[in-house]
Amino acid sequence: MTSRLTRWTWGLGALLSLGVAGYAYHYLLPGAFAPPGIAENPMTYPWLFVHAGLAATALLLGPLQFLPRLRLKQPRLHRWIGRTYVFACLTGGSAGLALAMGSTAGPIARVGFAALAVTWLITTAMAWRMILHRRFDDHRRWMIRSFALTFAAVTLRIYMPLAQILHIDPMEAYRAIAWLAWVPNLMVAELYLARRPLRVAQAA
Ligand code: HEM
């Protein structure tokens, strides 16, 4: 993390992730209930609560893994956070897939969320596989893709109020956002990876 722009981007991303993760953890409080629109999803009980808790953990931990200082100076900590992140993505993503099947917003939203879940599971599993084979550069590339998808939780919550401000029909907006929340994130990650060949220290 060298340039000032990179530091600011990381700080903003981490702050937004913290905010959305903090909001999601409220589902773990006793007596928490699903909001209207989501409560009607037949998968809500128990998958929303499993999903919110685990996916929020991935969102909270993800930004820490991009700190070069932590990676190089505390490799054991980096590994433990990484294992927790992978576990949170794989379990939270599976619960997200179950929820996607039951979304009451119709087939466009169902397929959009399901595609996000499957892509999230694949990119995270690939990142894990690469590190098991000690392919550090590929590991980092797949982790960037995985976190771009984890970050969909943040972009979704930016687009929702934006659609409201723009007076877009909430259901139409929700269907579009089931795709818009993650496809552009993945495109940005791919552009970044194409422009910056990564070289990772073997100590990762
Ligand atoms: C990246 C893969 C993800 C997928 C496929 C996914 C999928 C879903 C689905 C399908 C729903 C229910 C929507 C409906 O019934 O229409 C949902 C709700 C929710 N998800 Fe995710 N999600 C993902 C990531 C995350 C992350 C990283 C968080 C972390 C904060 C998160 C937190 C929540 C919360 C809190 C809800 C409840 C709705 C709300 O209160 O805003 N999700 N998710």
**pLDDT, tens digit (0-9, with 9 covering 90-100), for 141-169:** 999 999 999 999 999 999 999 999 999 99
Is the CB of 117 within 6 Å of ligand 1?
yes
202: confidence class by pLDDT, cuts 50, 70, 90: very low
Neighbours of 94 (CB within 10 A): 17
* Number of separate domains in the chain: 1
CA of 55 from ligand 1 middle (Å) equals: 8
Which pTM does this prediction carry? Answer: 0.94
Q: Kindly report the average pLDDT of the chain as a whole number.
A: 95
Answer whether residue 37 is part of any domain.
Answer: yes
Site to probe by mutation for ligand 1, drawn from 99, 119, 156, 171 as the one with most ligand atoms within 8 Å of Cβ, is 99
Residue 139 belongs to domain spanning: 4-195
Considering the domain boundaries, does residue 200 fall inside one?
no
Q: Is residue 203 part of a domain?
A: no
User: From the CA of 48, how far away is ligand 1's center (Å)?
Assistant: 8
Is residue 11 within 8 Å of residue 42, measured between CB atoms?
A: no
Residue 29 located in a structural domain: yes
> Is residue 90 a part of any domain in this protein?
yes
**Ligand 1 centroid distance, CA of 86 (Å):** 17
Measured CA distances, 87 to 15, 41, 82, 90, 164 (Å): 22, 25, 9, 5, 35
